[in-house]
Amino acid sequence: MVKIPIHKIPGKYQTDIAFLRYFSGNEQAAAVNYAHRDEYYLFILVKCGEGKLHVDFKEYEVKGTTIHCILPGQIHFPIGEVKGDGWVLAVESAFVKNEYKDVFEKMFWINDSIELNESEVEDLWHCASILHKKLKPGMQDIEKTVVLDLLSSYIGMIAEIYRRGLPVSANNRYADITSRFKSLLSANYKSVKRPSQYASKLNISPVYLNEAVKKTTGISASNCIRDEIVIQAKRLLFYTKISVKEIAQELGYADWTYFTRFFTKAVGISPSYFRKQYLE
């Protein structure tokens, strides 16, 4: 089985907190050009530029002025050359506040990119410039505290911008249910496939679960389950040489022909054709 390359900040950069890099002109925004996943959050702020990013088998256009967030574990790579004027921030998950993580993870379900207005770009750019001056190896305690405050402010501003793209929901109960549902889904997608099963684990009705998830993310609970299984299947198809039958078993399907029909209906092409399309 081919292993998916995983990048870690301590092994790749000079600091165990974060890494911030400015790119401009013909300099590439992407540090590497091969498919991989990171253990950290990656934020790409683009003031002007061009190119495309491939994130979990979806293409995103890199252009000015946009902000892109890549979650830990998402497979990504640039398509061709990604150039422009902007900042790339890599930050350990431990230094991203939970309320910010919640916003970024909700955007994962929606799969939208975020365009910025002039004021937002100016604020982020100013904060990134100061953070870049302060972020360095061998920081003392007070220096590290200042950096963490700046880092949190920068990420918080991004989260604030991302939040505007989320479905409006005034019900905090809905948000809590959706967060717990997503945690359960991440841990149980191989064995638990129906919304009613997750509703039972949450001690609520399937109707209420679906209402909460749809109000919070914009898609139904069943579609969330489908999307999680599909992305895991795509990763196995892309990064391993095991058969479709073995992938079906790995994802909890005893009947691999049923899995093939499920994947084909969700993606529009069969698992075998998906693999051929990307690897040949």
pLDDT at 216 over 90: no
Is the pLDDT assigned to residue 28 strictly greater than 70?
no
Last residue in a domain, options 136, 163, 190 = 163
Higher pLDDT, residue 3 or 249:
249
Query: Which CATH number covers residue 96?
Result: 2.60.120.280
**What pLDDT, in 10s, does the model give residues 49-84?**
778 888 887 888 777 788 889 988 888 888 767 778
| Assigned domain for 222 exists | yes
When pLDDT is averaged across residues 193-202 and rounded to a whole number, the result is 96
* Residues 21 and 125 occupy one common structural domain: yes
Average pLDDT, the chain: 85
pLDDT of residue 185: 94
Residues 134 and 176 in one domain: no
The pLDDT value recorded for residue 1 is 47
208 and 155 assigned to the same domain: no
Q: What is the Cα–Cα distance from 191 to 139, expressed in whole angstroms?
A: 46
1 domain residue, yes or no: no
Whether residue 23 sits in one domain with residue 147:
yes
- CATH code of the domain in which 272 resides: 1.10.10.60
Q: What is the pLDDT of residue 280?
A: 54
pLDDT band at 37 (very low <50, low <70, confident <90, very high): confident
Q: Give the tens place of pLDDT for each residue, 231-241.
A: 899 888 887 88
Which 8-state DSSP code applies to residue 115? E
Query: Is residue 159 domain-shared with residue 216, that is, in the same domain?
Result: no
Count of domains observed in the chain: 2
In terms of domains, do 119 and 69 share one? yes
Domain range for residue 41? 6-163
Where among 135, 163, 191 does a domain terminate? 163
What mean pLDDT comes out for the span 204-227? 91
Does some domain include residue 267? yes
Check whether residue 26 and residue 157 sit in a common domain: yes
Q: Which whole number is the average pLDDT over 126-137?
A: 91
Q: CA nearest 30: which of 76, 61, 75?
A: 76
Instruction: Please state whether the peptide bond connecting residue 260 to the residue before it is cis, i.e. omega within 30 degrees of 0.
Output: no
Using CA of residue 61, residue 86, residue 25, residue 40, what is the dihedral sign?
Answer: negative
Whether 187 is in a domain gets the answer yes
pLDDT at 188 > cutoff 90: yes
Average pLDDT over residues 11-33: 72
Q: Is the pLDDT of residue 191 over 90?
A: yes
Burial annotation 16-29 (CB, 10 A radius, 16+ → b, else e): ebbbbeebeeeeeb
d(CA 203, CA 27): 53
Radius of gyration of the chain (CA): 20
In this structure, the answer to whether residues 37 and 104 fall within a common structural domain is yes
Mean pLDDT lowest among 46-50, 109-113, 127-131: 109-113
Are 105 and 206 contained in the same domain?
A: no
Distance from C-alpha of 261 to C-alpha of 258, rounded to nearest angstrom: 5
Once rounded to an integer, what is the mean pLDDT over residues 147-166? 90
Would 32 be classed as within a structural domain?
yes
161 has pLDDT over 80: yes
